[in-house]
């Protein structure tokens, strides 16, 4: 299981505590993203300058987020802009960085001793209303596909806060304030990356900052309203559920935000827009070749479900290595449960870093801390 840190006190104190307790993992995240930015011709100093442009936007989000980031910086020994760069990493990357080489790439990698080229991950997620679950509990589930290297830098943060802000539990990369989580109010939040043709053409709320803001909300409808009031710099999808039984998949981009509603109590999502309006700005899917087959595969599972399901059904979906719709030679490397391709350098091997099932009513997570097909799911409670 990933390290579980209990954080208490003021926002700054909580951040400082996380930075101190996970200093080596924060350093690992910095190495990972310095290398990824360098692959795009962005050296670490330039990445920090770009991150600094988001300072006032993040500070204006409230909820103690900037104070947490300041605390992480002090506790970990990195500068404020280095921690901001981690939290704004989606916005710093070029719109189509997968496999991208620029005239500056070699110089950038040399400048900050980058570790190599990193590829782009893809995630499969779903949310199930309580009416479709045998125990009446709402579920949010997903695999997080990314650089296998980052598995060693994943943390579970159990964040205790005083009212009116709810306490929350999140799985995140060290140095990043939140990613996947559930809060005291029973709001569960997952994340899928999306790509639009107008990404990064304006400053706006960074993706991971919004994920953290969602954990400040009292229900899913509040998260949707919040997203629709904001301006975003890059695109993503927040898969959402709450203890009342409401679920949706919230797509957001510089063009706006729109909920994709459940069909028969279930909504599944991969890495392309489903909303008719937002999909008009969909970036070419040539770099996300498995997003449509993976959604088809997820729906194949869902269509075969009984009227009421339990965690075993969700685990079976997250462990699927069939790669339905992907060529036989590539199936295992493009499946819902994605194995790393051993023909690639280790630093290029994208895989399902973890799997997670969030119970919004129990306020807990069942976490597979490796490829879900290889390990058991273990419980972490708020």
In a domain, 134, yes or no: yes
Q: Write the pLDDT tens digit of every residue in 123-164.
A: 999 999 999 999 999 999 999 999 898 999 999 999 999 889
- CATH number of the domain that 281 lies in? 3.60.60.10
Same domain, yes or no, for 275 and 368? yes
Whether 176 is in a domain gets the answer yes
Is it the case that residue 118 has pLDDT exceeding 70? no
Q: Is 360 within a domain?
A: yes
- For the chain, how many structural domains are there in total? 2
Asked, for residue 118, whether it belongs to a domain, the answer is no
- Taking only the tens place, the pLDDT of each residue in 227-253 is 999 999 999 999 999 999 999 999 999
Which pLDDT value is given to residue 106? 45
Give the tens place of pLDDT for each residue, 279-333: 999 988 765 668 899 999 999 999 999 999 999 999 999 999 998 777 655 788 8
pLDDT of residue 334: 85
pLDDT tens profile 353-362: 999 999 999 9
Q: Say if CB 372 and CB 165 are below 8 A apart.
A: no
Q: Point out the least confidently predicted range of 34-43, 116-125, 238-247, 331-340.
A: 116-125
- CB-based contact 382:182 (threshold 8 Å): yes
Q: Which of 111, 144, 173 is the last residue of a domain?
A: 111
pTM: 0.92
Let me know if residue 201 belongs to a domain.
yes
Round to whole Å and give the CA distance between 333 and 272: 19
% residues pLDDT > 90 (the chain): 78
In the structure, what pLDDT confidence band is assigned to residue 119 with cuts at 50, 70 and 90?
Answer: very low
368, two tokens: 């597979």
116 found inside a domain = no
Q: Residue 90 and residue 96: Cα distance in Å, rounded?
A: 11
Same domain, 163 and 101: no
What is the reported pLDDT for 111? 39
- Token pair 């493009």 is found at 334
Check residue 252 and give its pLDDT. Answer: 98
Amino acid 115: pLDDT: 31
| pLDDT, tens digit (0-9, with 9 covering 90-100), for 53-75 | 999 999 999 999 999 999 999 99
- Looking at the fold, whether 252 and 322 belong to one and the same domain comes out as yes
Query: Residue 237 is encoded by which pair of tokens?
Result: 């999808």
Give pLDDT, residue 346. 65
Nearest of 110, 88, 87 to residue 41 by alpha carbon: 110
Q: Are 247 and 262 in contact (CB under 8 A)?
A: yes
Answer yes or no: is 147 within a domain: yes
Claim to verify: residue 174 and residue 291 sit in the same structural domain: yes
For 21, 97, 185, 326, the CA distances from 242, given in Å and listed in that order, are: 31, 34, 8, 33
User: Residue 307 in contact with residue 132, Cβ under 8 Å?
Assistant: yes
Same domain (yes/no): 217, 156: yes
pLDDT category at 114 given cuts 50, 70, 90 is very low
Longest dimension (CA), the chain: 57
| Per-residue pLDDT at 102 exceeds 60 | no
Domain span at residue 42 reads 10-111
- With respect to residue 119, please indicate whether it lies within any of the assigned structural domains: no
pLDDT averaged over every residue in the chain: 90
Question: Binning pLDDT at 50, 70 and 90, where does residue 180 land?
Answer: very high
């Amino acid at each position: 299981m990933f390290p579980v840190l209990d954080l208490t006190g003021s926002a700054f104190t909580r951040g400082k505590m996380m930075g101190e307790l996970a200093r080596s993992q924060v350093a690992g995240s910095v190495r990972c993203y310095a290398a990824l930015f360098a692959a795009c011709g962005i050296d670490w100093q330039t990445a920090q300058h770009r991150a600094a442009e988001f300072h006032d936007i993040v500070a204006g989000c409230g909820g103690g987020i900037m104070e947490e980031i300041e605390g992480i910086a002090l506790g970990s020994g990195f500068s404020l802009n280095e921690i901001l760069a981690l939290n704004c990493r989606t916005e710093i990357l070029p719109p189509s960085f997968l496999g991208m080489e620029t005239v500056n790439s070699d110089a950038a990698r040399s400048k900050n001793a980058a570790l190599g080229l990193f590829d782009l991950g893809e995630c499969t997620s779903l949310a199930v209303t309580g009416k479709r679950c045998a125990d009446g509990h709402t579920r949010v589930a997903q695999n997080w596909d990314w650089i296998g290297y980052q598995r060693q830098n994943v943390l579970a943060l159990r964040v205790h806060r005083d009212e009116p802000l709810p306490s929350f539990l999140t799985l995140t990369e060290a140095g990043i304030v939140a990613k996947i989580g559930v809060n005291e109010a029973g709001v569960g939040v997952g994340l899928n990356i999306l790509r639009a043709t107008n990404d990064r053409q304006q400053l706006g709320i960074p993706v991971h900052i919004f994920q953290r803001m969602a954990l400040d909300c009292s229900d899913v409808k509040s998260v949707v309203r919040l997203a629709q009031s904001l301006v975003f710099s890059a695109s993503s999808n927040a898969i959402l559920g709450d203890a009342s039984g409401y679920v949706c998949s919230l797509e957001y981009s510089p063009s706006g935000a729109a909920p994709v509603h459940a069909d028969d109590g279930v909504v599944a999502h991969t890495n392309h827009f489903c909303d008719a309006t937002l999909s008009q700005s969909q970036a070419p899917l040539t770099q996300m070749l498995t997003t449509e087959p993976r959604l088809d595969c997820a729906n194949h599972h869902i269509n075969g479900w009984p009227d009421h399901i339990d965690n075993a059904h969700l685990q079976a979906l997250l462990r699927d290595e069939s790669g339905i719709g992907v060529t036989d030679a590539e199936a295992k490397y493009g499946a819902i449960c994605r194995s790393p391709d051993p023909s690639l350098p280790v630093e290029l091997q994208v895989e399902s870093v973890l799997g997670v099932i969030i119970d919004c009513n129990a306020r807990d997570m069942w976490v597979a801390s490796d490829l879900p097909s290889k390990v058991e799911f273990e419980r972490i409670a708020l």
